[in-house]
Amino acid sequence: MPAPDPETSALAHDLRIACMRVARRVRYDADNTIPPHLFSILVRLAERPRTVGELATIEQVTAPSMSRAVTQVCDSGWAERSADEHDGRLVRLTLTSEGEETVRRERAHRDAWMTERLEGLTAPQRRLLREATDLLAQVVDR
């Protein structure tokens, strides 16, 4: 494999750092009302019911670690456990109505935080960010 182009390597480094900083700020600086790791679980459960194992795989953590987080989510009233209808040995997690409202409220809060940061940008800058956002989605999906 040929050595990477220095300009591409520099871009990769700068982009990685910028993405990490944005992610960190959205996760921790936005005065979120729910810890990031728990919110991530709720978002996954908003897509569809899942098992602890599925969540652990998606979040790339161990099953015991995910079990502890799921216990917090269930104890908070955001999700509930139930036996799988096809395999009673499996436990499925589903959002409660309180969990659905928490996801809706937290997404709105995080979006408002980001919207504040975009409001001072010019129309061309916002268009550029729109294009960059679409491109980043493509890069991540590779």
Q: Own/partner pairs for 18-24, CB < 8 Å, 24+ apart? A: 19/136
pLDDT tens-digit series, residues 44-78: 999 999 999 999 999 999 999 999 999 999 999 99
Is 30 inside a domain boundary?
Answer: yes
Separation of alpha carbons 107 and 133, rounded Å: 18
Domain count, the chain: 1
In the prediction, which pLDDT does 3 show?
A: 79
In the prediction, which pLDDT does 22 show?
A: 87
Is 88 inside a domain boundary?
Answer: yes
Q: Domain range for residue 18?
A: 7-140
Is 2 inside a domain boundary?
Answer: no
Is 71 inside a domain boundary?
Answer: yes
In the prediction, which pLDDT does 30 show?
A: 66
Is 20 inside a domain boundary?
Answer: yes
Is 1 inside a domain boundary?
Answer: no
**Where are any strands of DSSP class E within the chain?**
79-83, 91-95
Is 121 inside a domain boundary?
Answer: yes
In the prediction, which pLDDT does 32 show?
A: 77
Q: Is 32 exposed, middle or buried (0-12, 13-18, 19+ CB in 10 A)?
A: middle
SS3 of residue 81 by DSSP = strand
Sequential pLDDT tens for the chain (142 residues): 777 788 889 998 999 999 899 888 887 776 778 888 999 999 999 999 999 999 999 999 999 999 999 999 999 999 999 987 887 788 899 999 999 999 999 999 888 889 999 999 999 999 999 999 999 999 888 8
CATH of the domain at 26: 1.10.10.10
Task: Indicate the pTM of the whole model.
Answer: 0.78
Is 42 inside a domain boundary?
Answer: yes
